[in-house]
Chain A
Amino acid sequence: MYSRERVNAALRHQRCDRVPFDFALGFSPYQLDQFRIRTGQDDPDAYFGADVRGTGISPTRKLNQYTAYLDPSTLPEHAYVDEWGQGHIPTVSHDQYHSHLEGYVYPMLALHTREEALGYPLPDIEAEYRYESARRAIARYHDQGLAVMAGMACTIFEQAWYLRSMELLLMDFVDNPEFATALLDRITQKRVIQAERFAELKPDVIMFGDDVATQRGMLMSVPMWRRWLKPRLARILAAARHVNQDVLIFYHTDGNATAIVPDLIEIGVQILNPIQPECMDPFALKRMYGKQLSFWGTLGTQSTLPFGTPDDVRRDIQLRCQIVGKDGGLLIAPTHMVEPEVPWENLVAFVEAVKQYGQYK
């Protein structure tokens, strides 16, 4: 069976040959180097036979000027500013092990009024020319029998706080609603068009997401999430669905977001990711929502993958395939990026175990 059929069947709770898998956010640079040294190859997805490939929009050709918001002279030499105006400062003080870690500088810290939120330049993420490369990538992967996921995570909340800072945005929700409304609405408008454009390209899955939970539970109360984020997310998901009846709707949030799962299902989410098993129970979720929802992830990157033995990994995979993967509804993946401390043997055990225990009779 081709990966593409497998992924589409499994995530629709239909019959297929085995549980599909992928590497979620991929390998951290250190892991990628180790992989290259070990295998002489460049692409872990191809090497291990992952079932899904990602695609996204191409770089902008109309870069906005953000110097009025983020004075370049205040940034260290190795910092860079992205197309949204957010500053990034990679950690350079340490070894290559930590090379992918970076700090953020927020360009909207000093703003206060609704007018200022409206005046801030946003990038042209919805412009048609930025979707040409995704169109080609989807065709190419489909030719190879692979499933494709178009990425537009950090959909609303995260993109907004990448500009405003999480603390200020959360406080705006309470005491500067005009500002927060203007900012979120502008981002939402662009995301609606982006969702339509991706849906038109017919990838198998569109990835939406915002981290709205911590290890202990929701970052904000459920009523606050329902007021600020749910209706906007619903609009964006509906836009994708309107254009394409078949595309699978994937939603990512870190942490324990059990409290909003019914709401997510209600607004059209079909796949939940990543289900950090250290704080969110994939088995209980399967029992409660397994008919309506599929699960993508579940292999803990804070526990088994970095710190377990290969046998621990195999046991985790076996349990997940048997219970969470029962009658479909599971794509196994690490719950986040494969960080430098993950032993090679555990990665191999992960892939072998899915291929062994994930078989459907």
Chain B
Amino acid sequence: MFEPMEDLKQLYDAIVDGNAGRAKTLTTGAVAEGMNPQEILNKYMIPAMDEVGRRFEINEYFVPELLIAARAMKGALEILKPLLTATGAKPVGKVAIGTVKGDLHDIGKNLVSAMLEGGGFEIIDLGVDVTPDKFVAAVKDRGADVVALSALLTTTMPSMKTTIEGLKEAGVRDRVKVIIGGAPVTQKYADEIGADGYADNASAAVALTRGLVSK
């Protein structure tokens, strides 16, 4: 007999352990049993990714463990997504994320985006070397609530400032929260350029974004 609680506890473990195959099988099973997809997501999958983030912050997990957990989460989420859309479930928020103009470092940006997705956010990934107008378009045309900017170079940090200016000029700055991060970026710099938040790692980025959208 199918034991929803038992099996879903295993789904939680499969994600924390980064076992994509198992995560997918268990999700498919749960859906077939008629479990509510929103509940699977909120009660098991998102908490699993929160646990992964917690372990990352206390240096129990490193980038490889984060990557495999995120891959397991993604696999399971793929199964749930059509069902969630069909039931009209809304994501916690929509984040347009990208590495700013001139910069091509994307490993950190991808991790932040994976963790945010694991945290229940809808992600619009604009990629690398993203010009301000693309962020503006993501807000105007696709309804992003949060703009997340990554820069790994002192040379490209100023592009964060110009992106915020671009949002102002387009008249959409008040509609969104802007968060920034990447190796040379600091809270001080975030304050200077008028960003709404800064985090130094992917797990803290999730907590930060949650705090901002709930305001």
Listed in ascending order, the chain A residues whose CB lies under 8 Å from chain B are 91, 93-94, 97-98, 101-103, 166-167, 170-171, 173-175, 214-221, 224, 255, 278, 301-302, 306-307, 339-341
Q: What are 19 A-to-B residue pairs whose CB atoms are below 8 Å? A: A102-B104, A166-B107, A167-B67, A167-B107, A170-B63, A170-B64, A171-B67, A173-B64, A174-B18, A214-B63, A217-B59, A220-B63, A220-B64, A224-B62, A302-B184, A339-B153, A339-B154, A341-B154, A341-B155
- Is B13 interfacial (CB 8 A cutoff)? no
B200 in complex: contacting residue of A97, A103, A215, A255, CB < 8 Å: A215
Q: In whole Å, how far is A222's beta carbon from the nearest beta carbon of chain B?
A: 9
Which interface class (under 10, 10 to 19, 20 to 34, 35 or more) fits B? 20 to 34
B67 in complex: contacting residue of A101, A170, A221, CB < 8 Å: A170
A94 touches B183 (CB 8 A): no
- Is B10 interfacial (CB 8 A cutoff)? no
Q: In whole Å, how far is A9's beta carbon from the nearest beta carbon of chain B?
A: 34
A-chain residues with CB within 8 Å of residue B63 when the two chains form the complex = 170, 214, 219-220
Q: Name the CB-closest residue of A to B59.
A: A217
Q: A91-B102, A91-B129, A216-B201 are in contact. Are A174 and B154 (CB under 8 A)?
A: no
Per-position 1/0 for B127-154, Cβ under 8 A of A: 0110100000000000000000000011
B-chain residues with CB within 8 Å of residue A278 when the two chains form the complex = 184
B-chain residues with CB within 8 Å of residue A174 when the two chains form the complex = 18, 64-65, 68
A170 to B61, CA, bound (A): 13
B129 touches A301 (CB 8 A): no
A215 to B153, CA, bound (A): 12
A341 to B104, CA, bound (A): 18
Q: Name the CB-closest residue of A to B158.
A: A341
- Is B103 interfacial (CB 8 A cutoff)? yes
A171 touches B71 (CB 8 A): yes
A2 to B22, CA, bound (A): 64
B-chain residues with CB within 8 Å of residue A216 when the two chains form the complex = 200-201
A218 to B108, CA, bound (A): 14
Per-position 1/0 for B75-88, Cβ under 8 A of A: 00000000000000
Closest 4 A/B residue pairs (Cβ) = A170-B64, A302-B184, A103-B104, A98-B102
A-chain residues with CB within 8 Å of residue B18 when the two chains form the complex = 174-175
Q: Name the CB-closest residue of B to A221.
A: B62
Q: A91-B104, A167-B110 are in contact. Are A219 and B62 (CB under 8 A)?
A: yes
- Is B101 interfacial (CB 8 A cutoff)? yes
A-chain residues with CB within 8 Å of residue B108 when the two chains form the complex = 214
A-chain residues with CB within 8 Å of residue B154 when the two chains form the complex = 301-302, 306-307, 339, 341
CB within 8 Å of A: which B94-138 residues: 101-104, 107-108, 110, 128-129, 131
B-chain residues with CB within 8 Å of residue A103 when the two chains form the complex = 104, 128-129
A97 to B155, CA, bound (A): 9
A175 to B72, CA, bound (A): 12
A71 to B62, CA, bound (A): 33
Q: In whole Å, how far is B149's beta carbon from the nearest beta carbon of chain A?
A: 16
A355 to B101, CA, bound (A): 38
A311 to B6, CA, bound (A): 64
A258 to B108, CA, bound (A): 21
A101 touches B104 (CB 8 A): yes
Q: Name the CB-closest residue of B to A222.
A: B62
A-chain residues with CB within 8 Å of residue B104 when the two chains form the complex = 91, 101-103
A171 touches B68 (CB 8 A): yes
Q: In whole Å, how far is B21's beta carbon from the nearest beta carbon of chain A?
A: 10
